[in-house]
């Protein structure tokens, strides 16, 4: 690894940054002014404990403010990865049903998605509807800014062709924060844009365009805004003034930061103090050389700066809505698409620290596996995996006009991505169609409205929820969870209520429960087109 002084690096990255119509929906339109605006904020690859109101040390006062005027959910599940999460989120279905069971298509690589079964075609099919399509038919304006990642190669797969009135952002899964360009560049509505003039930063630009779209609205109809930040997904790109706030703060190391987070989470009521912290997979901080510690600390400092910038941009949006007297009648949801990212599953992450803020990079560097484990404190594993660290997210729901009396409360109800579509249909007073897209039959909605769980903390809205991604499989039933990792053949069984960090495999003690859960998962997988994954599979 190249040896580079932190002070010299800060100077060099500063320079780089500078270079750098359906009748089924017709009801209730006359009631338009009483229905809430809806704002859906999803961040990318953020860990379970990164934000302040879930125990993190990174200052996130604006997101914390949402929690103080909202309800926090501790058991909200995603699909463990970006594009299948977005498919499930946007459609209210399991991702395989929507056509993105694994990854979405990448720009220009048409061979990649050829000969795939429909469940793995890599873009949204026409047997699903998006939240934007549903709400647009219900009289909502529909805006999106940020990361799409649901189909790129044909314009028919872009946001405006799937129900959005306006779009500004990136169609692909990753891009440079400072200089999105080429086939990973920016798009406005249906028009690809030239590389942006400097200074530029995606987190700022996505927020500014979101506010701009709302400002340009010429009537009082409610709006739906989907703000999909690419932060804090790799590469490590942050404004130098933001990085400077965190340089040196992670010199104490992985174990100390994790222990401090754990203690705060217990005090906040996010986790049970009887749960052990998940198994550690890397060296101890003291085993690193001074240079290794300095470089690793710097990586986490840049990651923290990315989260920090995302937070003050959330604040910018909240302040605008408040100034325009729109905030109280706006339902706001905040969460992450998956757990923290350990890619490429090494201690140091992608590339060397001298790649930080390289405007021409859309991948490197990243912050490494140990910091991903810290981000997911106290949960096991990380992005892609079906363990809790891969599929759990901090989740906040806020709507002052209806739920103010529940402010700052915590809910441990089990919920998952398709519930967001169901919740939005509920508050928008509309319905989910049986047919759409010129008579195409639509797969039934898989979610249930979360609204009853706000008022009733003990309300169970699901008997079972399921998941599969690259042969990482799980099924959740009451306090039980069966899980199988892609690298092992046997299913494991955990009592999540007693052991959320998945230390104690109870498969041998409760074989009947495990057998029943695996059978349930198999029936779901067959019904949801999980198999075959390739046309030549038997």
DSSP assignment of 384-402: TSSSHHHHEEEEEEE-HHH
Q: Please check the confidence at residue 31 and state whether its pLDDT lies above 60.
A: no
Please check the confidence at residue 264 and state whether its pLDDT lies above 90.
yes
Q: Please, which pLDDT band fits residue 9 given cuts at 50, 70 and 90?
A: low
Q: What's the CA gap between 367 and 356, in Å, rounded?
A: 10
Confidence of residue 116 (pLDDT cuts 50, 70, 90): confident
Q: Which helix (H) or strand (E) holds 145?
A: strand 141-147
* pLDDT of residue 22 exceeding 70: no
254 to each of 67, 181, 355, how far by Cα in Å?
27, 35, 22
Looking at the DSSP bridge assignments, the partners of residue 191 are 188
| 16: pLDDT strictly greater than 60 | no
Quote the pLDDT of residue 124: 98
pLDDT at 111: 64
pLDDT score recorded for residue 32:
43
Q: Is pLDDT at 20 greater than 90 in this prediction?
A: no
Phi, psi for residue 391 in degrees, rounded to 5: -110, 5
> Helices marked H in 99-246 — which ranges?
131-137, 202-215, 240-244
C-alpha of 209 from chain center: 20
The predicted structure's pLDDT at residue 537: 46
Long-range pairs of 368-372 with CB within 8 A, sequence gap ≥ 24? 368/296, 368/299, 368/342, 369/281, 369/282, 369/342, 369/345, 370/254, 370/281, 370/282, 370/283, 370/296, 371/254, 371/296, 371/299, 371/300, 371/303, 371/340, 372/47, 372/339, 372/340, 372/341, 372/342
Local confidence band at 371 (pLDDT 50, 70, 90 cut-offs): very high
What are 342-369's pLDDT values in tens digits?
999 999 999 999 999 999 999 999 999 9
Q: Is the pLDDT of residue 491 over 60?
A: yes
Q: What are phi and psi of 397, to 5 degrees?
A: -125, 125
The whole-chain average pLDDT of the chain stands at: 93
Question: Any idea where the domains of the chain sit in the sequence?
Answer: 6-462
Is pLDDT of 101 > 60? yes
Res 27 pLDDT > 50: no
DSSP string, 415-475: EETHHHHHHHHHHTT----SEETTTEEPPPP----SHHHHH-TT----SEEEEEETTEEEE
Highest mean pLDDT among 24-38, 99-113, 346-360: 346-360
pLDDT, one tens digit per residue, over 285-340 is 999 999 999 999 999 999 999 999 999 999 999 999 999 999 999 999 999 999 99
Tokens 């009592």 appear where?
495
- What is the structure's pLDDT at 88? 98
Q: Classify domain 6-462 at the CATH topology level.
A: Alkaline Phosphatase, subunit A (3.40.720)
- Say what the pLDDT of residue 534 is: 73
Residue 531 DSSP SS3: coil
Indicate the SS3 state at residue 143: strand
Query: Are the beta carbons of 168 and 143 closer than 8 angstroms?
Result: no
Of 9-18, 71-80, 136-145, 505-514, give the lowest mean pLDDT range. Answer: 9-18
Q: 17-31, 167-181, 518-532: lowest mean pLDDT where?
A: 17-31
Percentage of the chain exceeding pLDDT 90: 91
Q: Percent of the chain scored above 70 by pLDDT?
A: 92
Residue 183: phi and psi, rounded to 5, are: -75, 0
Active centre residues (catalytic): 83, 149
pLDDT for 427: 98
pLDDT-derived band at 108, boundaries 50, 70, 90? confident
- Count the Cβ atoms, other than its own, within 10 Å of residue 386: 27
Judge whether residue 17 has pLDDT over 80.
no
Indicate the pLDDT class of residue 34, thresholds 50, 70 and 90: confident
| Contacts with 23 (C-beta within 8 Å, 6 or more apart), sequence order | none
Question: Which band of pLDDT confidence, cut at 50, 70 and 90, is reported for residue 91?
Answer: very high
Tokens standing for 520?
């349930």
Angle at 390 between CA 385 and CA 396, to 5 degrees: 160
pLDDT digits (tens, 9 = 90+) for 134-176: 999 999 999 999 999 999 999 999 999 999 999 999 999 999 9
Separation CA 344–CA 347 (nearest Å): 9
Q: Given a cut of 70, is residue 112 above it in pLDDT?
A: no
Kindly give, in sequence order, each residue whose CB lies less than 8 Å from that of residue 115, ignoring residues fewer than 6 positions away: 534, 535
Region 376-398: what's the mean pLDDT?
A: 98
pLDDT above 50: residue 526:
yes
């Amino acid at each position: 690894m190249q040896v580079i002084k932190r002070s010299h690096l800060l100077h060099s990255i500063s320079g780089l940054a500078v270079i750098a119509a359906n009748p089924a929906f017709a009801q209730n339109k006359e009631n338009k002014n009483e229905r809430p605006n809806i704002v859906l904020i999803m961040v990318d690859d953020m860990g379970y404990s990164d934000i302040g109101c879930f125990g993190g040390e990174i200052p996130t006062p604006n997101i914390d403010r949402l929690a103080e005027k909202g309800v926090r959910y501790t058991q909200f599940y995603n699909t463990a990865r970006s594009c299948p999460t977005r498919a499930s989120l946007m459609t209210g279905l399991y991702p395989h049903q929507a056509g993105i069971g694994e990854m979405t298509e990448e720009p220009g690589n048409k061979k990649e998605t050829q000969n795939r079964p429909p469940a793995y075609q890599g873009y949204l099919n026409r047997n699903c509807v998006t939240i934007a399509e549903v709400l647009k038919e219900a009289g909502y304006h529909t805006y999106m800014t940020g990361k799409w990642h649901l189909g790129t190669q044909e314009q028919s797969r872009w946001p405006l062709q799937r129900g959005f009135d306006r779009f500004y952002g990136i169609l692909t899964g990753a891009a440079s924060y400072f200089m999105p360009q080429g086939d990973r560049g920016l798009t406005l509505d249906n028009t690809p844009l030239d590389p942006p003039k400097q200074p530029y930063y995606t987190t700022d630009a996505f927020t500014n365009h979101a506010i701009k779209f709302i400002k340009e609205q010429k009537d009082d109809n409610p709006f739906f805004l989907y703000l999909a930040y690419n932060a804090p997904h790799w590469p490590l790109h942050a404004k130098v003034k933001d990085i400077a706030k965190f340089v040196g703060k992670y010199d104490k190391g992985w174990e100390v930061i994790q222990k401090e987070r754990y203690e705060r989470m217990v005090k906040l009521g996010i986790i049970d103090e009887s749960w052990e912290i998940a198994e550690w997979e890397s060296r101890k901080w003291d085993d690193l050389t001074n240079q290794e510690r300095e470089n690793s600390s710097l990586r986490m400092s840049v990651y923290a700066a990315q989260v920090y910038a995302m937070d003050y941009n959330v604040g910018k949006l909240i302040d605008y809505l408040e100034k325009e007297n729109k905030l109280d009648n706006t339902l706001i949801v905040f969460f992450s698409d998956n757990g923290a990212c350990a890619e490429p599953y090494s201690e140091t992450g992608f590339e060397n620290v001298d790649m930080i803020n390289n405007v021409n990079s859309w991948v490197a560097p990243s912050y490494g596996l140990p910091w991903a484990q810290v981000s997911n404190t106290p949960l096991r594993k990380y992005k892609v995996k079906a363990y809790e660290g891969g599929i759990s997210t901090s989740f906040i729901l806020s709507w002052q006009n209806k739920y103010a009396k529940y402010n700052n409360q915590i809910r441990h109800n089990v919920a998952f991505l398709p519930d967001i579509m169901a919740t939005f249909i509920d508050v928008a007073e509309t319905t989910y169609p049986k047919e759409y897209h010129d008579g195409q039959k639509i797969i039934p909605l898989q979610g249930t409205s979360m609204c009853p769980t706000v008022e009733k903390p003990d309300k169970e809205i699901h008997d079972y929820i399921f998941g599969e991604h690259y042969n990482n499989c799980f099924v959740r039933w009451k306090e039980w969870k069966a899980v199988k990792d892609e690298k092992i053949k046997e299913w494991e069984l955990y009592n999540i209520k007693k052991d959320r960090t998945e230390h104690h495999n109870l498969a041998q003690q409760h074989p009947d429960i495990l057998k029943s859960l695996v059978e349930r998962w198999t029936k779901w997988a067959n019904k949801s087109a999980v198999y075959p994954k390739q046309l030549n599979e038997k």
